[in-house]
Structure 1
Amino acid sequence: MASLEFETEEMRPVKAWCSADEVHVTLADGRTISTPLWWYPFLGDLDPVALNEIELMYEGIWWPEVDEGISVQSMFLGIKAPGARAPEKAA
C-alpha cells in the first residue's frame, strides 16, 4: 500500500495526547486510536508535560522536545520504533 493510498483527509489527526501508558490520536473522521507508550522509546525520558506538547501533522504527530514523531499509518499497522521493548510483567 502506497503512502498516498493510506493517508486521507479522514485519517488526519485532529487531537493527540498521552496518558501514563498510551499515545492517543483522534482522527478527522471521529475515530480514536491508541498505541502503547513503550512502542516509542524516544519518548521514555519525557515528563508528562513534555509528552503532551504534541504538534499535529497531516500524516501523524510530532514531539518538538525530542525532534521525533509517529505516523498514523504506523499506529494502525502496529509498527514500533527501533529499540521498543515491552515492559517486563511483575511476577
Structure 2
Amino acid sequence: MHSLVSDNDLRVMSVNIDDSRLTVELMDGRAISVPLAWYPRLANATPEQRQHWELAGAGYGIHWPELDEDLSTEGLLLGARAPASAGDSRA
C-alpha cells in the first residue's frame, strides 16, 4: 500500500513577500499564502529585510536573521500566527 504522507515534501522551495502577503512554495508543489499582518516583525520590516531570509531546520523553516523571526512550514500549514506581544490587545 502506498502512503500519501511520503509524497508530501514540506521543505521550502521559495519565499515571496509583498506589502500584504507572505507566500511560501513547498517542494511538493503546494503554496501557502498568509496575510503579512499575522507576522508583525515582517510587516514592519523594510522590503530589503524581508528579502534577506535563510532556510532553517533542514529546509522545513525560514529564518530572517536581521529580524529575529523564524517560521516553520508546519506552523504555516496550521495557520499559526505570531504570538501576541505584551502590548498587543489581541485575545
Other-structure match for 1:17: 16
Q: Report Cα offsets for 1:59-80 as digits up to 9, x if no partner.
A: 2211111121111111111111
Question: Computing the radius of gyration over CA atoms, which structure comes out larger, 1 or 2?
Answer: 2
C-alpha contact (below 8 Å) 2:54/2:62 kept by paired residues: yes
Query: SS where residue 14 of structure 1 aligns?
Result: strand
Higher relative contact order (CA 8 A, sep 6+): 1
CA displacement at 1:9 relative to structure 2? 6.7
Alignment partner of 1:73 is 2:54: no
Runs (4 or more) in structure 1 with deviation over 3 Å come to none
Find the residue that maps to 1:73 and give its secondary structure: helix
AA aligned to 2:33 is S
The CA deviation at 1:81 is 0.7
Q: TM-score, length-normalised on structure 1?
A: 0.75
Q: Percent identity?
A: 37
Letter in 2 for 1:35: V
Asked whether the equivalents of residues 43 and 51 of structure 1 are also in contact (C-alpha less than 8 Å), the reply is: yes
| Distance in structure 2 (CA, Å) of the matches to 1:46 and 1:32 | 22
Letter in 1 for 2:68: D
The alignment's C-alpha RMSD in Å is 2.2
1:39 maps to: 38
Relative to the length of structure 2, the TM-score reads 0.75
Give unmatched runs, 5+ long, in structure 1: 1-5, 86-91
The answer (yes or no) to whether the contact 1:15–1:56 under 8 Å persists in 2 is: no
Residues 17-65 of structure 1, C-alpha deviations (whole Å, 9 max, x = no match): 2111111111111111111111111223311111111112222211111
